[in-house]
C-alpha cells in the first residue's frame, strides 16, 4: 500500500449482511467519485468475509481500498473455517485488521497476532494492528505498559520490505462503541508510547513505514480532533460507517 496523508478505515464487523454491504459499498463509490477528495486521502472498507468478493467487484477501479477484518496465519490447507491471507490478497484486499480487541477478548493471543502480522506481510497485505487497554487496566494505570507490550509482542521478527507499511491502531477497549471518544491529548500520549515501542522493536528501522491511527467512537463531529494530531494518520471506525450518509460526512470531515 502506498504512503498516504490521511485515512478512514471502516470496520463493518458483523453488522452488515451481503446485500447491505453491497448497497453501502455502491453508495460510497458513487458519492466519493463526486466528492473530489484529495489524492492522498484514503478510504478503506472492511466488510465481513461473506461480502468480500461482492464488495470487491463493486470497488474495482474505484479509489476505495478493500480490507479484511482478520486472516489466518497458516498457508492454505486443512484449517476448517479459516481464511488464508493469500486468498484475501487474490480477492483484492490490500489491508487486513489484526488483533482487534473483540478477537483478543475471544481468545486471540499476542502470539497469534504476531503470526498473523508476519503472514499478512508475507502476502504483501498491510496489517492494521489493533492495540488498546481495557477499562480495568486503565483504572490501574497500566495503559502505557499494556500498549508497549502489545506492540512489542506483535512486531517480533517482523521485517518490512521497501514499500511495505504497517498501521497501528490505538483503540482503548472501553471506548469502542461507547459513543464517547477519548480525549485527543491521551491519543497524543499513547502515540508517543507506540512510537517508542516501534523504535525498540525495529532497532530504530522502518519508522517512516509505520502509521499510527486512532479508533473508538469516532464520528463526523469529532473526527478532525484526531486526524489533526501530528502523529495520527487517521481513524478506524465502525458505528459511524454503518449508515452511508454518516460515513460520507465522516470522510469529508476527516
Ligand atoms: P466504533 O468501533 O467506531 O463503533 O467505536 C471502532 C472499532 O471497534 O474499531
Beta bridge partners of 66: 45
134-181 pLDDT, tens digit per residue, is 999 999 999 999 999 999 999 999 999 999 999 999 999 999 999 999
Cα dist from 150 to 14, 98, 115, 192, 211, whole Å: 25, 12, 13, 14, 16
Distance between Cα 86 and ligand 1 center (Å): 26
Q: Is 153 in the pocket of ligand 1 (CB under 6 A)?
A: no
Scored b (16 or more CB within 10 A) or e, 206-224 reads beebbbbbbbbbbbbebbe
Catalytic annotation on 171? yes
Long-range contacts of 195-204 (CB under 8 A, 24+ apart): 195/231, 196/148, 197/147, 197/148, 197/151, 197/152, 197/155, 198/151, 198/155, 198/168, 200/148, 200/152, 201/151, 201/152, 201/155, 201/156, 201/158, 202/155, 202/158, 202/160
pLDDT at 188: 98
Beta bridge partners of 128: 97, 167
Distance between Cα 177 and ligand 1 center (Å): 5
pLDDT at 4: 84
pLDDT at 71: 98
Catalytic annotation on 79? no
Q: Is 132 in the pocket of ligand 1 (CB under 6 A)?
A: no
pLDDT at 1: 83
> In 3-state terms, what secondary structure has residue 211?
strand
The number of helices, as runs of H, and strands, as runs of E, in the chain is 10, 8
Catalytic residue from among 171, 186, 228, 249? 171
Distance between Cα 175 and ligand 1 center (Å): 8
Catalytic residue from among 82, 100, 108, 137? 100
Q: Which residues contact 239 (CB under 8 A, 6 or more apart)?
A: 177, 179, 217, 219
Low-confidence ranges of the chain (pLDDT < 50): none
pLDDT at 3: 82
Q: Which helix (H) or strand (E) holds 192?
A: helix 184-201
Q: Which helix (H) or strand (E) holds 129?
A: strand 126-131
Asked whether the whole model's pTM tops 0.95, one would answer yes
Amino acid at each position: 500500500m502506498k504512503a498516504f496523508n490521511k485515512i478512514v478505515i471502516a470496520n463493518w464487523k458483523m453488522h452488515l449482511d451481503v446485500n447491505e454491504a453491497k448497497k453501502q459499498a455502491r453508495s460510497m463509490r458513487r458519492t466519493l467519485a463526486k466528492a473530489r477528495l484529495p489524492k492522498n486521502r484514503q478510504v478503506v472498507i472492511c466488510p465481513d468475509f461473506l461480502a468480500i468478493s461482492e464488495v470487491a467487484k463493486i470497488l474495482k477501479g474505484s479509489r476505495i481500498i478493500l480490507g479484511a477484518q482478520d486472516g489466518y496465519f497458516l498457508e492454505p490447507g486443512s484449517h476448517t473455517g479459516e481464511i488464508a491471507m493469500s486468498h484475501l490478497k487474490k480477492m483484492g484486499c490490500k489491508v487486513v485488521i489484526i488483533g482487534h480487541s473483540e478477537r483478543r477478548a475471544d481468545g486471540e493471543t499476542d502470539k497469534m497476532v504476531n503470526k498473523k502480522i508476519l503472514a499478512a506481510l508475507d502476502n504483501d497485505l498491510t496489517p492494521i494492528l489493533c492495540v488498546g487497554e481495557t477499562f480495568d487496566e486503565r483504572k490501574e494505570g497500566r495503559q502505557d505498559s499494556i500498549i508497549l507490550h502489545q506492540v512489542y509482542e506483535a512486531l517480533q521478527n517482523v521485517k518490512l520490505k521497501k514499500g511495505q507499511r504497517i498501521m497501528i491502531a490505538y483503540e482503548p477497549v472501553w471506548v469502542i462503541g461507547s459513543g464517547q471518544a477519548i480525549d485527543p491529548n491521551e491519543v497524543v500520549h499513547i502515540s508517543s508510547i507506540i512510537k517508542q515501542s516501534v523504535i525498540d522493536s525495529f532497532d530504530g528501522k522502518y519508522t517512516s513505514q509505520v502509521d499510527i491511527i486512532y479508533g473508538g467512537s469516532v464520528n463526523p463531529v469529532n473526527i478532525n480532533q484526531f486526524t489533526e494530531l501530528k502523529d495520527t494518520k487517521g481513524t478506524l471506525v465502525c458505528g459511524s460507517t454503518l449508515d452511508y450518509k454518516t460515513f460520507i460526512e465522516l470522510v469529508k470531515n476527516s
